[in-house]
Each structure stands twice: as structure tokens, then as C-alpha cells.
Amino acid sequence: MVAPYEGVHAFLFIREVDPGDSIRAIVARLNERGLVNKDEGPVFFASDFVGAFKGFVHAGADDLTALLNLLAGALWDAGVHCEPTLEGTVSGTDVALPLGPKRQSPPYCALVRIDLRRDPSVDPLVVLSRLRDVSLFQGASVVFGDFDILLELGAEDYDSLTEAVRNWAKDFPEVERSRSALTHVSSD
């Protein structure tokens, strides 16, 4: 097992599911098979979303080979056919408390995939550091994939969350575009 800030982590964005399947059924299978454990993984979080993608899974392993085996084995068998992104630098690794996406959050959650302008003056690590000041910030990481940063915003209510999603980018001219998706995870 791997800890929330150890090993290699992947963020898996599910855009489509096999005919006759659903995101909720996939999440249920992950839980039934004992794969979801928010403290030890290998799946730290899994849920359905509305927006840029239908489902999301945060998974981790001790190393890249183990992560690839997890993706091609247990996760694939559970129906997680996805667009994986590897986590790079986590927000706050330069301070006492790192805050990466989907390690903890309030019931209403938005995940924002951020594309930065392709400009040598844009430093992803500087943007990552500044994101900590965004309203309702829960975590962020530089990623290796088809976008640059994954930002998590979280709130106790839907209206506060959607307000933060609409307004977070105003102070970030480095952002070329962003794509968001939202979910509500009850504590039941």
C-alpha cells in the first residue's frame, strides 16, 4: 500500500464507459473489490462527476511499474477505462503541509484542469504556489498529461462552489484555458 503523499499517483479521468455500464457501477465495483482506501490506496478517491468528464479516480502505487500494472489490471477489470495523468509537483511541498487534489475535501468538489499559456515566462511552479490563495482551494498539482495543473476547489454547499469555479481564474493571466467538473460526495 502507498500513502497519500508517497509513491507515484495518477489522476484518471473517465469520459466514456462500456455499453451497459455506468460510472456509479464502476465506483461500486472499486469499493466492493476493496480497492478504495483514502489512507492507503491503491484508490484514494472515486466518484461520478458532471462537466468535462463523467468520472474521476485518484490512484497511487509504490512506483511507476506498479501503477501501470494497477491501471492495466485491477482498475481496467473494474471498468476504469480512462485518460490517465501522472501527478508531478504537489502544492505545498515547499511548506509543512502539502495539499494535493483529492486527499481530503468538503462534500462539494470541483476539479479544474488548467492549461497554461505556452510562454517561456510562465512557470507552472509559480502558478501552483499562487493557487493556494484561491477561494475554496483544497489542493493542486502540476501533472504530466494533456494539461498542466489539476486544481481542486471544495465547499460545504453548491452555490459557494460554483461561485469559486466561475471566479478563480481572474487573477491568473498565465491560464490559457480550463475545464471543470463537479461532484457531491455525501458522508453517508
Fold for domain 88-184? Alpha-Beta Plaits (3.30.70)
Domain boundaries, the chain: 8-87, 88-184
Q: Give CA–CA dist 25/7, Å, rounded.
A: 28
Right CATH for 8-87 from 1.10.260.30, 2.30.30.100, 1.10.1060.10, 3.30.70.920: 3.30.70.920
Q: What is the mean pLDDT of residues 125-150?
A: 94
The model's pLDDT over 75-132, given as tens digits with 9 standing for 90+, comes to: 999 999 988 999 998 886 555 566 666 777 789 999 999 999 999 999 999 999 999 9
Can you give the pLDDT at residue 43?
A: 96
Q: Which residue has the higher pLDDT, 93 or 149?
A: 149
Residue 1 confidence class, pLDDT cut points 50, 70, 90: confident
pTM of the full predicted structure?
0.92
Q: In 3D, which of 172, 178, 8, 3 has the Cα closest to residue 88?
A: 8
- Between CA 160 and CA 97, with CA 45 as vertex, the angle to 5 degrees is 70
Q: Give CA–CA dist 110/119, Å, rounded.
A: 27
Q: Is the pLDDT of residue 136 over 80?
A: yes
Q: Do the first three CATH levels of 8-87 and 88-184 match, i.e. the same topology? A: yes
